[in-house]
Structure 1
Amino acid sequence: MPDIPRRRVLGGTAGLAFALTGWGAGDGRANDTRRMRTIADSVVTTTDELESTFENLSSGETVLITAKNAPYRTTGWLDIDADDVTVVGPGVRTLIKSAPSANAGGFRIGHRRHCSNVTIRGIGFDGNPDEQSIFTKLCHGIVVKDAEDVTLAGNYVTRTHPYHEHSTGGSGISAEPASRNVRIVGNRIEDIGDRGIQVGGTRVVVARNVVTDGLDRSISCDVWRNGRHRQGGNIAVIGNVLGNNPEGSLVGMGGDDLTDGGGYVVISDNLGFGHHKSFCHLGFEGTVRNVRIDGNVSVQERRDDYSGISLDIERAEHVTAVDNDLYGYGGRGINVSEGISDFVVSRNRIRNVASDGIRIAGAEDGVVARNTVSGTGRTGIILEAARYVAVEGNRFRDLERVGILAAGGETFHEISDNHVRGFATGKGHEAGMLIQSERNLVRHNRIYRSGGPAIVEGNGANNLYDGNWSDAKRPWHIRSATSRVRDHTPAFDVHRGVSVDGSGRATVEFEKPYATRPKLSFGRVGGGVRGVSYRTTNDGDFDAARLTVASPDSTVDVFVEPV
């Protein structure tokens, strides 16, 4: 049986020991340090030892960086280009700090050659940006380049260089496009030069990190290089706490097609707060697909004109935003722009946003269902030039303007089973639903009495309104001759107590014109109806009926039914 390399065994044992003892959590227990000293291959106590160790790393080596002489003022990058390397620190926040004019970041993994099975745990890094050259860029805290099976856990990164510089600034942790199978778990990243964590690799987990006080995104599912966003693929961003990066979203993605022609991105159960733009932004030119934004909670504490979730990339397919709580945004709650198709916006709770709750503009083939929207500065849901969207089972209250607005030519929406209560709370005459497009089905909606009519058809046509309910008087303002209305409560185009004159004649003006002559039925008929003739508009639509009945000075009830 061949000998098993001692360093490989020790590296695996160390990794297990660190996981079991909670190494890197910052508890500073002396027992952990003593235990590590017994299993580490290299124990670092000076800057010279630190730099020499990384210049001469061997496969399977375990390195303990003690707090004895921290901070270690490094003069260059610490490179890991060997397999099965484990680096462990005591959880001291300023364990390593770039020396003046070092013009380097922290660790580079797979910089000169491909490597695998690397762990960095419990390391603190300060980029010292004030003392670095302004011409040196991208001095990240930890960079995973050409490497796979990498774990970065329990580390602390701050003040990376360049400081507060877009795209070429220093990020906290960067998983580059050639990286594979990377776990970025339980790290603390704050006061960062550019992005907190950025991912351009494949099969990456970003979980339980706290990322605050940066410049651009807290977590980005792409890496910005040479003017292009290089997307990651198969990424899970789960359970992170994110806040206070005023020039970017908390989570985002943009740019070219997903790595290897496809992949999935899950953004789930994260908490957002503080000053930022959107919670999640899929944006810029390019394509994304297979993205699920699920179960996040975020509040914009300082209002800027950005949406909580903003999907405005050039093209996106198969995007789901479900079960998110979005509060206080200065723009919209959720914005879905042109180029998006096959999307779902469902079971989100949107409160106190300055503009629309949900805006669907130019997108196609989507579902907007069972969302709760309250306290908007404009509309609950607005559909602008979108097509084939099902708007189902949403609940609205305390809206300054319209509950649901549909506009833009032939749109083919199905708007059904929604509840609208407390609309038109601002100035002006608004409606529970305003339909300004064609070929829609609007059915089984409940619209409670508020500051305007229940349903208004503006310049819409060829719509079907079926079984809608309101507790207001005369709630239906539907005008198109080609639209149909049936089974509403209160009933549409019902005329009770029409007076018959002394000559036995009465005229009934319809609530809307009809392109096809409608059917009339009667309640009280004043001794019987002897004749019916119809009045038409200049367009040839039927807008009234003239009745002749047997009994002068009587009363007639007339029910107008579309054919």
Structure 2
Amino acid sequence: MPEIPRRRVLGGTAGLAFALAGWGASGGRANELGVADSIVTSTAELEATFRNLSPGETVLITGENAPYRTTGWLDIDVDDVTVVGPGVRTLIKPAADANVGGFRIGHHRHCENVTIRGIGFDGNPEEQNIFTKLCHGIIVRDAENVTISGNYVTRTHPYHEHSTGGSGISAERESRNVRILGNRIEDIGDRGIQVGGTRVVVSGNTVTNGLDRSISCDIWRRGRHRQGKHIAVVGNVLGNNREGSLIGLGGDKTQGNGGYVLIANNLGFGHHKSFFHLGFDGTTHAVRIADNVSAQEKRDDYSGISLDIAHANHITAVDNDLYGYGGRGINVTDGITDFVVARNRIRNVASDGIRIDGAEDGIVSRNTISGTGRTGIMLADARFVTVEGNRLSDLDRIGLVAAGGETNHELLNNRIRNYAAGKGHEAGMLVRSEGNLVRRNRIYRSGGPAIVEGDGADNCYDGNWSDVRGPWHVSSPTSRVRNNTPAFDVHRGVAVDELGHATVKFEKPYAQRPKLTFGRVGGGIRGVEYRTAKNGDFDGVRLTTNAPNSKLDLFVESV
């Protein structure tokens, strides 16, 4: 094998390639000296260089004889190495039956301060052995302070195989302080970018046309998740995964708490399952999904943001725009506690806008939801959720539903209009649970009554407004209804007979004797006799007045 010349002065084609790779603007060592330690122009030079890397070496891989048909992995196991390419998309392509991927950093021993930039890698899957797995484009294993930027990775082997397929870039469990910036990854064997390390930034990448997730904040190994810790996934463009979400995070059984995860300012499009999926077994906490925009262009039955992990707390989904999903806009299931779903814009989804199913101690606030195929907001068997200040419109069915035993929700200051399109029997708000405070909601005239209490009880309906005729359908003796507009249980112009008697049946039974107030009093009230049902609930009153054949106005108030 020919000896590789060291510290060759840049010039001609090599110098141009180095400049196009963008290295000169970085202020790094090569820019200062105007030289690279090794300049690669053939496959033999390439493989020999990586067998004999020295600490502090800068390697320029030119495009002069690309593609370089490698027969082994290109390993970096020493510190302070920089690898720069000219941005050629097929710069490196494994030879037939090589059964390898691209670069491995820290594979045999720990290393630090490594940069790979401007490299193109084609995994050549059709010429690799089907029994060889995990031939990723770039793997960061036991390494720290690594930057991977401006690279192109495609067709990694095995091709279109879950868990053991070839991913684009993988930051493994022992990696630390890794930056994955501005890479282009497309038509990938498994996942685009996957992260199981600690303190990893994934930003400015474009990942399209893969099999599983575009970006994963965990790694599958031997059937278990290796969850990344302290991960930021920011400002990426993601789309067209055949069988996965665009961004995902699985629970961790081996590491306990997975650290903090930020998913922010990403753009999703095309065919995929969820935009973000937090799922499977295990535990995580402190995940923030914020300021993302995503549209599902080919409808499948998946939610835009799906939070259905076994155990998680301190989960936040705020300021996201989600369009066209075939399932729900945001789905939160019973493993979640201490969550916030706020200021999201959800439009044109086939099912519920937001569904909270069994989760506890959450806030659903100031979301704008329109064009749902089912309910605007559904609370099913959830507990202690505050639903406040949401705007719900153009809903095929009910605006807001609370169901499931003793739930203790606060449903406050929501605006509901254009609900129950074409289905006049539906309600603006349906309460089928107990112990809820329903206060100051505004429900505009639409396809049915404003508020219906189904099999709920012990609820308080206070200060709600509607322009619906006969808006309040509350039936539980233990529920209180007060200060609503129009008022509940109001009886105007009640006829007093020739003996001065008038009988009024209340709009609902009362477990405790209600308070009565009067407008016109028919010359004065001489007697009040409450009537009770067989179970002892107060369901009406017989009044005796001083003015026979007159009229009176009666207002019934819960106590």
The TM-score by the shorter chain falls in which range? over 0.9
**Structure 1 residue 259, shift from structure 2 partner:** 4.8
Deviation at 1:319, TM superposition (A): 0.4
Return the match for 1:225 from 211, 215, 221.
221
The correspondence of residues 229-308 of structure 1 with structure 2, limited to 5 A, is 229-256=225-252, 259=255, 261-308=257-304
Please state if 1:121 is matched with 2:141. no
Contact in 2 for aligned 1:530/1:550 (Cα 8 Å): yes
Among candidates 489, 493, 496, match of residue 493 of structure 1:
489
Change (3 A) 1:426 1:194: farther
> Aligned pair in 2 of structure 1 residues 43, 329: CA closer, same or farther (>3 Å)?
same
Q: Distance in 1 between matches of 2:291 and 2:197?
A: 24
Structure 1 residue aligned with 2:498, among 495, 502, 505? 502
- Summarize the Cα distance change of 1:426–1:278 in structure 2 as closer, same or farther, 3 Å threshold: farther
Output aligned runs, 1:1-12, within 5 Å: none
Q: Could you tell me the TM-score, scaled by structure 1's length?
A: 0.94
Residue 23 of structure 1: aligned partner: 21
C-alpha distance in structure 2 between counterparts of 1:331 and 1:208, whole Å = 28
Aligned to 1:379: 375
8 A Cα contact 1:421 1:447, kept in partner: yes
Contact 1:24 1:123 in 2 (8 A): no
Letter in 2 for 1:503: L
* Contact preservation (8 Å) 2:227, 2:258: no
**Per-residue deviation, residues 300-337 of structure 1 (Å, max 9, x unmatched):** 00000000000000011100000000000000000000
Tell me which amino acid in the other structure corresponds to 2:219. Answer: V
Deviations 1:504-558 (A, max 9, x none): 2211111111001111111111222221111111211011111122222211100
Alignment-derived partner of residue 4 in structure 1 = none
Letter paired with 2:21: W
Contact 1:202 1:259 in 2 (8 A): no
The partner residue of 1:538 within 518, 534, 541 is 534
Q: Distance in 1 between matches of 2:294 and 2:364?
A: 20
Q: Could you tell me which amino acid in structure 1 is paired with residue 228 of structure 2?
A: G
Separation of aligned partners in 2, 1:109 and 1:484:
67
CA deviations 1:348-384 (Å, max 9, x no partner) are 0000000000000110110100000000000111111
1:158 aligned to 154, 158, 180, which one?
154
Deviation at 1:76, TM superposition (A): 1.3
Is 2:140 aligned against 1:144? yes
Mapping 1:9-158, distance limit 5 Å: 23=21, 38-158=34-154
Shift of 1:24: 5.2
Between the aligned partners of 1:327 and 1:257, the Cα distance in structure 2 is: 33
Contact residue 170 and residue 192 of structure 1 kept, 8 A: yes
Taking the aligned partners of 2:19 and 2:315, their CA distance within structure 1 comes to 40
CA drift of 1:426 comes to 3.7
Partner of 2:191: 195
> How many residues end up aligned between the 2 structures?
544
Distance 1:290 1:258, change over 3 A: farther
How far apart in 2 are the matches of 1:269 and 1:519?
Answer: 55
Is residue 409 from structure 1 mapped to residue 405 from structure 2 by the alignment? yes
- Quickly say closer, same or farther: Cα 1:471–1:164, change in 2 above 3 A: same
State the match for 2:477 in structure 1. 481
* Equivalent in the alignment of 2:12: none
Work out the CA distance in 2 between the residues paired with 1:384 and 1:427: 22
Measured after TM superposition, the shift of residue 502 of structure 1 is: 2.4
CA drift of 1:35 comes to: 7.2
Q: Distance in 2 between matches of 1:503 and 1:425?
A: 49
Take 1:204 and 1:22, find their aligned partners in 2: how far apart are those partners?
27
CA distance in 2, matches of 1:22, 1:419: 56
Aligned to 1:353: 349
Question: Amino acid of the residue matched to residue 525 of structure 1?
Answer: V
Preserved contact between residue 257 and residue 285 of structure 2 (Cα < 8 Å):
no
**Is this contact kept in 2: 1:312–1:338, CA < 8 A?**
yes
Q: What one-letter code is carried by the residue in structure 2 that aligns with 1:160? A: T
Structure-2 separation of matches of 1:560 and 1:522 = 9
- Give distance in 2, aligned partners of 1:458 and 1:95: 66
Alpha-carbon distance in 2 for matches of 1:338, 1:506: 52
Q: Classify the secondary structure of the residue corresponding to 2:281.
A: strand
> Which of 449, 452, 455 is matched with 2:451 structurally?
455
Matched letter for residue 417 of structure 1: N
For residues 372 and 312 of structure 2, the distance between their equivalents in structure 1, rounded to whole angstroms, comes to 27
Conserved? CA contact 1:24–1:89, under 8 Å: no
Query: 1:562 and 1:52 mapped to 2: Cα distance?
Result: 87
Q: Which amino acid aligns with 1:23?
A: A
Contact 1:140–1:161 (CA under 8 A) maintained in structure 2: yes
Match of 2:199, SS state, is strand
CA distance in 2, matches of 1:257, 1:227: 11
Q: Residue 24 and residue 160 in structure 1: after superposition, are their counterparts in 2 closer, same or farther (change >3 A)?
A: farther
TM-score scaled by length of structure 2: 0.94
**Contact map agreement 2:393 2:417 (CA 8 A) in 1:** yes
**Whole-Å Cα distance in 2 between the matches of residues 360 and 94 of structure 1?**
47
CA RMSD of aligned residues (A): 2.1
> Mean Cα displacement is larger for which, 527-536 or 109-118?
527-536
Deviations 1:461-484 (A, max 9, x none): 001111000111210000000000
Cα distance, 1:260–1:447 mapped onto 2, change above 3 Å = closer
Q: Structure 1 residues 290-299 or 494-503, which shifts more?
A: 494-503
- Correspondence for 1:14: none
Q: Secondary structure at the match of 1:52?
A: helix
Offset from partner CA, 1:481-512 (integer Å, 9 cap, x none)? 00001100001111101111222221111111
Q: Which residue of 2 is the match for residue 210 of structure 1?
A: 206
Change (3 A) 1:117 1:44: same
Shift in Å, 1:255: 2.8
Aligned mate of 1:331, from 307, 327, 343:
327
Q: Residue 366 of structure 1 corresponds to which residue in structure 2?
A: 362
C-alpha separation in 2, matches of 1:561 and 1:277: 51
Instruction: Give the Cα–Cα distance (whole angstroms) in 2 for the partners of residues 413 and 79 of structure 1.
Output: 57
Measured at CA, do residues 57 and 121 of structure 1 come closer, stay the same or move farther in structure 2, by a change above 3 Å?
same
Q: Would the aligned equivalents of 2:489 and 2:556 in 1 still touch at CA under 8 Å?
A: yes
Aligned to 1:562: 558
**Any stretches of 5+ residues in structure 2 without a counterpart?**
1-5, 10-14
Asked whether the equivalents of residues 20 and 86 of structure 2 are also in contact (C-alpha less than 8 Å), the reply is no
Structure 1: which amino acid aligns with 2:366? R
Letter paired with 2:331: N
1:13 matched residue in structure 2: none
Aligned to 1:176: 172
The answer to whether the 8 A contact 1:24-1:155 is kept is no
| One-letter amino acid matched to 1:480 | S
Q: CA deviation at 1:293?
A: 0.2
Residues 1:67 and 1:304: Cα distance change in structure 2 (over 3 Å)? same
Distance 1:262 1:197 in 2: 18
Distance 1:491 1:24 in 2: 71
Residues 46 and 281 from structure 1, CA distance in 2 versus in 1: closer, same or farther, beyond 3 angstroms? same
Q: Paired residue for 2:307? A: 311
Deviations 1:398-434 (A, max 9, x none): 0011111001111111110110011111435111110
Please tell me whether the aligned partners of residues 24 and 153 of structure 1 are also in contact (alpha carbons under 8 angstroms).
no
Contact 2:423 2:447 in 1 (8 A): no
Q: CA deviation at 1:79?
A: 0.6
